[in-house]
Chains A and B, each alone.
Chain A
Amino acid sequence: MTTETDVVARARALRDPAAPADPDLLTDLAALTAPTALRDAGRALAGIAPARAGRAGQSLRPLRIAVAATFTAENVAPILRAELLRAGIAPELHVCGFDQLLVELSDPESDLAAFAPDVTLCLLHDEALLPRDWDPTDLTTLTDATTHRLDMLEQAVAGFTGRAGGAIVLHTVPLARNQQRRVISYGGRAALGRAWREVNQRLLDLPARHPSVHVLDFEALLADHPGPVRDDRLYRFASMAWTIGTEAAYAREAAAFCRVTAGLSAKLVVVDLDNTLWGGVLGDDGPEGIQVGGAYPGNCYTDLQQGLLALRRQGVLLAVCSKNEQANVDSVLAAHPELTLRADDFVATVANWGRKDHNIRQLVQTLNLGLDSVVFVDDSPFECELVAREIPEVRVVRLSGDPAGHAAAVLEPQFFGALATTATDRERTGMYRARAEREQFAASFVSTGDYLAGLGLTVTVTPADEYTLPRIVQLAARTNQFNLNPRAHGESRTREMAGSPDHLVLGVEVSDRFGREGLVGAAWVAKGGDHWLIENFVLSCRVFSRGVEQAVLAHLAALARTSGATVLLADYRRGDRNKAAASLVEPFTVGADTDGVTRHTLDLGAAEVAAPAWITLEWKEPAHV
C-alpha cells in the first residue's frame, strides 16, 4: 500500500510546473492495483505532459477517447487515464455530460462530434433500457420497451459512425439485483432472465451489422468481480450506477481495447521452458521427470500450453528462449507424450546458455518485428529483471507462486488483442518459421555488464561440514548440466574426501538482491603438492551465466597458490548433457584424453585468475568437519 501511495504522491508532485521530471513514473504506474490509487494518479496526471513522467525515447501513442454514459460515471475518466498511460497511450479525453449519450451521438453539431474521437466509449446501465415501472406479469410490454430503446441506440450509433471515422464501444449490461427480486415466481424470473439476455444478445449482435461498433462482454466479466456493481445510495443520490470497483473493471477493459486501436498489441510471446512451460528442470530431472499433463501440478502447465496454442491459432507467434541443451529440448518437443505445444507451434526454439536479452534481440531482428511487440514469460526473477532492464520495450510476465495462476498471468493483461482475426492468422507461424530456421543463435556463457554489477552477487565458499554434506551429495546426484564429472562422487567418496587432509570438498552458496539461492554448487579437489586437481565441479542451473564458476575458480587458484602449488588441473568428462560445464575450464589449456576424460591445465605462475568484478567472494569456516 505504501508504494501505491508513493506513486500517487509522485504523480501529484508533477502538478508543480517547476518540479523535476519523473522518468520512472509511467513504468511505476504498473504497481497500482487499488481503484482509488488509480483514480488519484489519473486525476493528478490530467494536463501533465507524458514526457515529464516517462523516459527519453519512451514514446506514447496519442489517442482521442470520448466517454458518454447514461449515468454519472464520475471516476471512469481518471482511472481510464491512468490505465491508458500505463498501456502506452497518451490520451486526450472528452467526457460528455450526464445522460447525454443519445443526444451527443445523434446531433451532428454536438461537442462529441466536434471532438472527433478515435474511440467513443458508451457506458450503459439497466434503467436506461428498462421502462421505470415494468410489470412482472406483462413481460411482452417490457420487451417492446427495451426493443424500442435499443432501436434508438442502434440508430444513434449508426448515424454517428456514418459521419465520423472512429470506433464505438458498447458493452453488455448487468441487470440490477433488486430488479430481478421484484419478480417472485421462478417461472417469471426465468422469463425476465431470457428477456434481459435478449437485450445483451442484441447488443452483442451490433458489430455484425455495424463494422465500427465493438461490444465488450462486461456482464460476463462481472461474474467473478468482487463487490457490488452498484451502491444504491450513490445511485439514488447522484445517479452513479457503478461503484468505483466496477468503474475500474470497465476502465481496464476499455484501455485494453484502446491499446488494440492504437496498434500496441503484442505479436510474439517468448517463453522459458523449465518451470514455465513445464514443471521441473529438463536437464536435471530428465524428460520423464518434468511435470506436464496428468493431475496437479502438471495440468497447470498444460493449461498454459493450451492458452498459448489458442494464441498461436489466432496469429500470435510463439518462441522458446531457454537455458538448456538444444538437443534435449528438440527431443522433448518431438516426443514427450503429454506436451500440447510441439516444435512446429514455435517460430523458433532457442536453447543455449546465452543472455536472454541478446537472444530476444536477435530473434526479433530475424523475424523483422519490433521489440515493443514482444511479451517475455519466465519464472526466474533474474531473467525477468535482465530483460526488463536491457529491453524496456519488452513486456515482461513474471511467473511466480502456484503454477495454477500461470495461464492467467499470461492471458489476463490482454497484451495480444485484435479487432478481428482472419483465416491467414492460423498460417502465420509457418510463414515466419521459414525466416528463423537458418538463424544460429549465438551462445556466450557469461552475461556481463552493469546489470550483474547491480545485482549485489555474493558467492560464499565453505569447506563441506555436517550441515552442507547432505546437500552437496544431493546436488551431485541431481545436477546433469553443469557437472564436470557426472556421478563420479557419491556420498561415501564425498564424506571420505571431506575428512581427508589431502582433499577438499567445497560448498558454494550464492545470494543476490532477489534473495538467497542457498547451496547451489560444489567442488571436489585433490591437493597434490605442486599441483591441485579439480576432480569434479557442479553448479545448479539457477545460477548459470553469472560468473559464479569463475569466482570459485579464482578462490581455488588462490588457495592452491598459497599452499605452494604451481599448476591447477581439472578433469572434464564431456558428454551431450554437460556441455555447460565447459565454462569452468575456459581459461585452461586442453590436454590429453583418457577414457573420455580430458585433462585441463592452468599454469598458476603465468595466469592471474580473478573473480568477476561484480561478485563479492566470501570464505566461511566450516561448522564442523
Chain B
Amino acid sequence: MSDVTGTVVGLVERVTELPDISAESRFHNLANWTSLSALRLLTDIEDEFGVQLDLRSYLAVNDVGQLSDLVSTALGDR
C-alpha cells in the first residue's frame, strides 16, 4: 500500500468512524455514507495533502483505491 493510499485509508476511517477500510472498500457500501460525509472527506483530504480536487472527478470515484489515484494525480500536477 502506498503512502498516499495509507493516509487516505486513515482519513476514510476517521470520517466514517469505521475500522478495516482498505483500497477495495466501496463508498456506497459503507454504513451511513451520505453526500455530507463525502464532503467532509473531501475537505479533510484537501487539508491533509494540500491539494484541491475537481468536485466532479471526486464524486465519480467508487472506491478508496480510485480516490487514492485521484489524490496522487493531483499531487503530481502540483
Task: Say yes or no for B24: interface residue by CB 8 A criterion.
Answer: no
User: What is the total number of residues of chain B having a CB less than 8 Å from a CB of chain A?
Assistant: 11
The residues in A between 224 and 280 inclusive whose CB is less than 8 angstroms from any CB of B are: 231, 233-234, 237-238, 240, 243-244
Q: How far is the CA of A12 from the CA of B43 in the complex (A)?
A: 21
CB atoms of A244 and B43 under 8 A apart: yes
Task: Say yes or no for B31: interface residue by CB 8 A criterion.
Answer: no
Task: Say yes or no for B14: interface residue by CB 8 A criterion.
Answer: yes
CB atoms of A240 and B44 under 8 A apart: no
Q: How far is the CA of A74 from the CA of B35 in the complex (A)?
A: 11
The residues in B between 7 and 55 inclusive whose CB is less than 8 angstroms from any CB of A are: 14, 17, 35-36, 39-40, 42-44, 47, 55
Q: Which residue of A lies closest to B59 (CB)?
A: A237
Nearest-neighbour CB distance to chain B for A16, whole angstroms, equals: 12
CB atoms of B17 and A238 under 8 A apart: no
Task: Say yes or no for A357: interface residue by CB 8 A criterion.
Answer: no
Task: Say yes or no for A549: interface residue by CB 8 A criterion.
Answer: no
Contact with B along A33-46 (1 / 0, CB 8 A): 00010001001100
Nearest-neighbour CB distance to chain A for B12, whole angstroms, equals: 13
CB atoms of B17 and A12 under 8 A apart: yes
CB atoms of A75 and B40 under 8 A apart: yes
Task: Report chain A residues within 8 Å CB of B17.
Answer: 12, 43-44
Task: Report chain B residues within 8 Å CB of A40.
Answer: 14
The residues in A between 205 and 222 inclusive whose CB is less than 8 angstroms from any CB of B are: none
CB atoms of B44 and A238 under 8 A apart: no
CB atoms of B55 and A74 under 8 A apart: no
Nearest-neighbour CB distance to chain A for B8, whole angstroms, equals: 15
CB atoms of A231 and B43 under 8 A apart: yes
The residues in A between 80 and 127 inclusive whose CB is less than 8 angstroms from any CB of B are: none
Q: How far is the CA of A244 from the CA of B43 in the complex (A)?
A: 8
Q: How far is the CA of A74 from the CA of B44 in the complex (A)?
A: 14
CB atoms of A36 and B44 under 8 A apart: yes
CB atoms of A74 and B47 under 8 A apart: no
Q: How far is the CA of A156 from the CA of B61 in the complex (A)?
A: 43
Task: Say yes or no for A180: interface residue by CB 8 A criterion.
Answer: no
Q: How far is the CA of A419 from the CA of B18 in the complex (A)?
A: 43
CB atoms of B39 and A238 under 8 A apart: yes
CB atoms of B14 and A237 under 8 A apart: no
Nearest-neighbour CB distance to chain A for B10, whole angstroms, equals: 10
CB atoms of A238 and B40 under 8 A apart: no
Nearest-neighbour CB distance to chain B for A588, whole angstroms, equals: 63
CB atoms of B39 and A240 under 8 A apart: yes
Task: Report chain A residues within 8 Å CB of B47.
Answer: 36
CB atoms of B39 and A234 under 8 A apart: yes
Nearest-neighbour CB distance to chain B for A445, whole angstroms, equals: 52
Task: Say yes or no for A72: interface residue by CB 8 A criterion.
Answer: yes
Nearest-neighbour CB distance to chain A for B14, whole angstroms, equals: 6
Nearest-neighbour CB distance to chain A for B63, whole angstroms, equals: 21
Q: Which residue of B lies closest to A74 (CB)?
A: B36
Task: Report chain B residues within 8 Å CB of A43.
Answer: 17
Nearest-neighbour CB distance to chain A for B74, whole angstroms, equals: 14
Task: Report chain A residues within 8 Å CB of B36.
Answer: 72, 74, 238
Q: How far is the CA of A455 from the CA of B63 in the complex (A)?
A: 51
CB atoms of B55 and A238 under 8 A apart: no
Q: How far is the CA of A377 from the CA of B35 in the complex (A)?
A: 46
CB atoms of A238 and B35 under 8 A apart: yes
Query: When A12-B17, A36-B47, A43-B17 are in contact, do A237 and B40 touch as well, CB less than 8 Å?
Result: no
Q: Which residue of B lies closest to A36 (CB)?
A: B44
B35, B36, B39, B44 interface centre (most CB from chain A within 10 Å):
B39
Q: How far is the CA of A36 from the CA of B42 in the complex (A)?
A: 12
Q: How far is the CA of A74 from the CA of B14 in the complex (A)?
A: 16
Q: How far is the CA of A243 from the CA of B35 in the complex (A)?
A: 16
Task: Report chain A residues within 8 Å CB of B55.
Answer: 233, 237
Q: How far is the CA of A508 from the CA of B55 in the complex (A)?
A: 64
Q: How far is the CA of A238 from the CA of B17 in the complex (A)?
A: 22
Q: How far is the CA of A243 from the CA of B52 in the complex (A)?
A: 14
Task: Report chain A residues within 8 Å CB of B35.
Answer: 237-238
The residues in A between 21 and 53 inclusive whose CB is less than 8 angstroms from any CB of B are: 36, 40, 43-44
Nearest-neighbour CB distance to chain A for B60, whole angstroms, equals: 13
Q: How far is the CA of A238 from the CA of B47 in the complex (A)?
A: 19
Nearest-neighbour CB distance to chain A for B65, whole angstroms, equals: 23
Known pairs A12-B17, A44-B17, A74-B39. 19 more at Cβ < 8 A? A36-B44, A36-B47, A40-B14, A43-B17, A74-B36, A74-B40, A231-B43, A233-B55, A234-B39, A234-B43, A237-B35, A237-B39, A237-B55, A238-B35, A238-B36, A238-B39, A240-B39, A243-B43, A244-B43
Instruction: Offer 25 A-B interface pairs, CB within 8 angstroms, sorted by A.
Output: A12-B17, A36-B44, A36-B47, A40-B14, A43-B17, A44-B17, A72-B36, A74-B36, A74-B39, A74-B40, A75-B40, A231-B43, A233-B55, A234-B39, A234-B42, A234-B43, A237-B35, A237-B39, A237-B55, A238-B35, A238-B36, A238-B39, A240-B39, A243-B43, A244-B43
* 7 A-B pairs closest in CB distance: A233-B55, A74-B36, A234-B39, A238-B39, A244-B43, A36-B44, A238-B35
